[in-house]
């Protein structure tokens, strides 16, 4: 039997739209409700308690909208709270760390992977553990890059300011690069990675700049595609597919897509249109109660 209920997708801001975009590509028959907590982003520089409280409140709001599965399209929330979310909701809850870790473990040839993410994600070592679970022989070099999320939330994806910020963020991990993309001595230990995992859903929006800085010998991997595939499989296994019509059943309804933001809907809409084209037109504001800090 088909299940037409939407999938709930959550991020601290617009970064999770990189995951939503892949979900729409992979599962075009599914409806979605996205919630971006733009008012309180960035999460990655907050305490674990704050990340957990804000994420839980946002996910509760999605569950109230009768979603059939939750995608935590935020590495920071996944790193801090995936266990807690799974205990709280009677729904399949998918995070972005395992799919990303698995994609990186499959991509590396020299078994050296660099991970860039927010300070809270790096502090949790969730990627380190997840990559080691995939292949204990892989060396994992983790590096916090707190300046990148504010760039994306401001829509600054190119130009000298964004370029300088990406160079400054990556150099401690990868070293300075010469014209051939080789790291210049003295090289930091992470300079030998052949795979760089973008451990924050905002970072794929800076991918052209990150690729330019990392050079041609480093494969750039993110969790969006792997998460969308894992979701499709999860829906199928759990009989939650919107398009799995059986004989005699009405054809599946046309999917709907709603984006909710705790911030300014007009700003969210403008930013989403600039980042993704016209893909996300239906934006509304959602109020979440103010939590004591
Ligand atoms: N997109 C979130 C992540 O994947 C960004 C975190 C933040 O708001 O700092 O970690």
pLDDT along the chain (293 residues), means of 10: 93 96 95 96 97 98 98 98 98 97 97 97 98 98 96 92 96 87 78 95 96 93 96 95 74 86 94 82 90 59
Cα–ligand 1 centroid distance for 75 (angstroms): 6
The closest of 163, 199, 201 to 14, measured between CA atoms, is: 201
How far, in Å, CA of 12 to CA of 51, rounded? 9
Q: Edge to edge, what strands does the sheet with 139-144 contain? A: 139-144, 112-117, 195-198, 219-222
The SS3 call for residue 147 is coil
pLDDT value, residue 41: 95
Q: Which atom of ligand 1 is nearest to the CA of 77?
A: 10
- Report the catalytic residues: 74, 200
pLDDT value, residue 274: 82
pLDDT value, residue 247: 62
Cα–ligand 1 centroid distance for 180 (angstroms): 32
pLDDT value, residue 179: 77
How far, in Å, CA of 46 to CA of 203, rounded? 18
CB–CB of 152/166 below 8 Å?
Answer: no
pTM, to two decimals = 0.94
How far, in Å, CA of 48 to CA of 269, rounded? 29
What token pair was written down for 172?
């401690």
Which of the listed residues 74, 122, 127 should we mutate to test ligand 1's pocket, taking the one with most ligand atoms within 8 A of CB?
74
What token pair was written down for 62?
């999605």
User: 16: which residues sit within 8 A by CB, 6+ positions away?
Assistant: 9, 10, 34, 36, 71, 73, 74, 201
């Amino acid at each position: 039997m088909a299940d037409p209920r939407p999938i709930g997708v959550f991020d601290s801001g617009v970064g999770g739209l990189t995951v939503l975009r892949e979900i729409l590509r992979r599962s075009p028959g599914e409806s979605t409700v996205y919630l971006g907590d733009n008012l309180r982003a960035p999460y990655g520089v907050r305490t674990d308690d704050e990340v957990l409280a804000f994420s839980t409140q946002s996910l509760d709001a999605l569950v109230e909208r009768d979603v059939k599965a939750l995608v935590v399209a935020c590495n920071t929330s996944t790193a801090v709270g995936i266990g807690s979310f799974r205990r709280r909701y009677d729904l399949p809850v998918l995070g972005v760390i395992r799919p990303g870790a698995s994609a990186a473990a499959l991509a590396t040839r020299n078994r050296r992977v660099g991970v860039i993410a927010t300070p809270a994600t790096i502090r949790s070592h969730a990627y380190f553990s997840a990559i080691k679970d995939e292949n204990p022989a892989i060396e994992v070099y983790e590096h916090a890059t707190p300046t990148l999320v504010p760039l994306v939330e401001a829509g600054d994806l190119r130009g000298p300011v964004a370029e300088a910020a990406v160079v400054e963020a990556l150099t401690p991990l990868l070293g300075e690069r010469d014209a051939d993309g080789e790291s210049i001595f003295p090289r930091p230990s992470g300079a030998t990675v052949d795979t760089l995992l973008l451990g924050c859903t905002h970072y794929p929006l800076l991918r052209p700049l990150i690729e330019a800085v990392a050079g041609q010998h480093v494969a750039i991997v993110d969790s969006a595609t792997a998460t969308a595939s894992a979701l499709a499989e999860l829906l199928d296994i759990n009989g939650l597919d919107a398009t799995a019509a059986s004989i005699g059943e009405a054809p599946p309804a046309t999917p709907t897509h709603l984006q909710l933001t705790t911030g300014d809907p007009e700003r969210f809409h403008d930013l989403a249109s600039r980042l993704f084209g016209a893909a996300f037109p239906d934006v509304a504001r959602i109020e979440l109660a103010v939590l004591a800090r």
